[in-house]
Structure 1
Amino acid sequence: MGTSVTISAATDQDAEQILKLQYLCYQSEAALYDDYGIEPLTQTLDALRAELAEGCVVVARLGGEVVGSVRGTVDADGTAKIAKLIVHPRMQRHGLGGRLLDAVERRLADERSAKRYRLFTGHRSEVSLRLYRSHGYVPVGTVPRPRALTEVTLEKELVPAGVSVAGA
């Protein structure tokens, strides 16, 4: 491709590109569950800008184009909620999703004192489930949702630097 992908904090100037990419990326998810009213497809630009201002949003750029993004927040007990991990379809299966996940985890720990990470995905979203499991997330619960969707919640504890993990 000639240009390498860089990962950095998102800015307000990235909002429109993130929203367009989000809309593109969530089409397959909507088709999987036959539900085109899911929040990522109905989110407004103003709502996304509010997330940029309040949360931790990381983007992957290929030149000037946003080709991936992920968001996170941390609540009072130190639980980081990670959401909307997206990678442009032409950039998938090259490790970019994992790089974005690692980057947002680092930022949430370093800048917002995260102690554990939590995210969710649909039960039919095998690619996402495989990615999250490969990064140490374990399923901790399920919640039935409309349209035959079961939301799977996954968590991972933060492992402090210098601490070895048994079996790793």
Structure 2
Amino acid sequence: MGMSVTIDNATDQDAEQILKLQYLCFQPEAELYGDYGIEPLTQTLAELRTEVRETCVLVARLGAEVVGSVRGTVDADGTACIGRLIVHPRMQRHGLGGRLLAAIEERLAAERDAARYRLFTGHRSAANLRLYRRLGYAPVSTEEVSRHLSMITLEKEAPPSLAASA
């Protein structure tokens, strides 16, 4: 036993494990909002492989098993859009989500000149909102998607030392 979780860039070979984990992790969200047609549950393996090649995708590994992942892109104005933060249910509540988020923030600032970070979650996703607020994100807008779903957008600025070191 005694293996530690490592965080690294995802590879094409990780895509299938990421997709299976994503499907597992987004089931509670789909149930919470009564919508099993959400994009994380309908994404194809080919689409995910394209994301792995074209964007910044990190994985957390416990040995050879992918137990977490997160993705991000940076637009022309330096805003990093972070999404699909997932952690295997048996690994939740041990700080791995925070580690993944910190790792993608660092990577996007250093490699892609991110000046600020943006992410979003549903209004009923209390655990996500707690995590993001604890890590310095503040709500900046709410968009009503349907009668049952409002998406909350949260942002935080990149520390000057990260943006400057790029």
Q: TM-score, normalized by length of structure 1?
A: 0.94
Question: Which consecutive unaligned segments of at least 5 residues does structure 1 have?
Answer: 163-168
- Secondary structure of the corresponding residue to residue 98 of structure 1: helix
Residues 79-123 of structure 1: CA distance to partner in whole angstroms, max 9, x if unpaired? Answer: 000000000000000000000000000000000000000000000
Whole-angstrom CA distance in 2 between matches of 1:83 and 1:148:
21
- Per the TM alignment, residue 2 of structure 1 is displaced from its structure 2 partner at its CA by 1.8
Whole-angstrom CA distance in 2 between matches of 1:161 and 1:77:
18
Q: Report the residue type matching 2:157 in the other structure.
A: E
Whole-angstrom CA distance in 1 between matches of 2:93 and 2:11:
26
- Per the TM alignment, residue 147 of structure 1 is displaced from its structure 2 partner at its CA by 5.2
Whole-angstrom CA distance in 2 between matches of 1:12 and 1:160:
33
- Per the TM alignment, residue 161 of structure 1 is displaced from its structure 2 partner at its CA by 2.1
Whole-angstrom CA distance in 2 between matches of 1:26 and 1:146:
18
Whole-angstrom CA distance in 1 between matches of 2:2 and 2:28:
28
Q: Does 1:93 align with 2:93?
A: yes
Match of 1:103 in 2: 103
Q: Does 1:131 align with 2:131?
A: yes
Query: Conserved in 2, the CA contact under 8 Å of 1:116 and 1:156?
Result: yes
Match of 1:165 in 2: none
Whole-angstrom CA distance in 2 between matches of 1:136 and 1:49:
31
Match of 1:52 in 2: 52
Match of 1:149 in 2: 149
- Secondary structure of the corresponding residue to residue 161 of structure 2: coil
Residues 34-78 of structure 1: CA distance to partner in whole angstroms, max 9, x if unpaired? Answer: 100000000001110111111100100000000000000000000
Residues 106-163 of structure 1: CA distance to partner in whole angstroms, max 9, x if unpaired? Answer: 000000000000000000000000000011000000111135010000000111129x
Identical positions, percent: 73
Match of 1:113 in 2: 113
Runs (4+) off by over 4 Å: none
Question: Which consecutive unaligned segments of at least 5 residues does structure 2 have?
Answer: none
